[in-house]
Amino acid sequence: MEHQIPLDPDGRAAHDAHDGTQEVSVDLAYKRLAIVNVIYYGRPGDPNWVLVDAGLMQTAGAIRSAAAERFGEGNPPSAIVMTHGHFDHVGALEELAEAWNVPVYAHPLEHPFLNGTTSYPPPDPSVGGGLVARMSGLFPRSPVDVSRFLRPLPEDGSVPFMPGWQWVFTPGHTPGHVSLWRESDRTIVAGDAFITTTQESLYAVTVQKPAMHGPPMYFTPDWAGAAESVRKLAALEPEIVVTGHGQAMRGADMRQALHTLADDFERIAIPEQGRYVL
Ligand SMILES: [Zn+2]
Ligand SMILES: [Zn+2]
């Protein structure tokens, strides 16, 4: 049985650009591409900007046109930063890295999934009960290969080209998953460490019903790590969260929901049975 915490729609952070890009603060925006978000760091028109995650296959064009809209034509990013290498976050990565010729930063433990070496473990279609979970057996999981562009995130915790940001190691959903944190306005870019929609259900994914939710169940092999990562992020007391799936949220209700998820993770987020539950 699945528990979620619906949130007041007023808790959402967003301001809609006409191409569907949602701005959450002056220098942070995200665009939803079907089932997943890509994140744009940088003020509009800024020559230095960073793409966080790279969406689904076939979305390179949409990612680039939203980038051109925000930062201007012919203005490639300084880098691409990856929260993790799942297919729905790397779909356009090879194409974009080639086209822009920019470094791709990821945690060293995520590199095998980004340099063509290692496939992720198979997804678990039995959890979550929804159509997306059942279809997850069909999701691609073979690694992309961007070795030419791949760099480790700096050991000092900084994020290249994103001054004021730190990466936070949040494994569990994948071995080298990271989230990004900026203390000055208490913003977390969470990747899939937690998400704000019920990704297992096609209905919730389509209507983007706001909820605070653990990482996508069908793709999370290490639940103990995932729980610890959510607790680490909740302890930061964020004001704004931007996740890989679902809408950005802000404020006290979001924080409360995140703490509830962290405090009661085993009951709320972990499937009762499934391939990766011990
Ligand atoms: Zn993922
Ligand atoms: Zn994802």
pLDDT tens-place values along the chain, 278 residues long: 333 343 434 444 444 555 779 999 999 999 999 889 999 999 999 999 999 999 998 999 999 999 999 999 999 999 999 999 999 999 999 999 999 999 999 999 999 999 999 988 876 666 655 656 666 665 676 789 999 999 999 999 999 999 999 999 999 999 999 999 999 999 999 999 999 987 666 555 555 556 788 888 767 889 999 999 999 999 999 999 999 999 999 999 899 999 999 998 988 887 665 545 43
For the chain, report the end-to-end CA distance as a whole number of angstroms: 17
Q: How far is the CA of 77 from the centre of ligand 1 (A)?
A: 23
Amino acid at 201: S
Contact 61, 54 (CB under 8 A): no
Nearest to 111 by CA among 77, 68, 143: 143
pTM score = 0.88
User: Residue 122 carries which DSSP code?
Assistant: P
Nearest to 192 by CA among 86, 106, 64: 86
Ligand closest to CA 34: 2
Helix (H, G, I), strand (E, B) or coil at 162: coil
Q: How far is the CA of 64 from the centre of ligand 1 (A)?
A: 22
Q: How far is the CA of 141 from the centre of ligand 2 (A)?
A: 12
Q: How far is the CA of 37 from the centre of ligand 2 (A)?
A: 8
Q: How far is the CA of 74 from the centre of ligand 1 (A)?
A: 30
Q: How far is the CA of 192 from the centre of ligand 1 (A)?
A: 5
Contact 258, 212 (CB under 8 A): yes
For residue 37, how far is the Cα from the chain centroid?
Answer: 7
- Report pLDDT for 220: 81
Q: How far is the CA of 186 from the centre of ligand 2 (A)?
A: 22
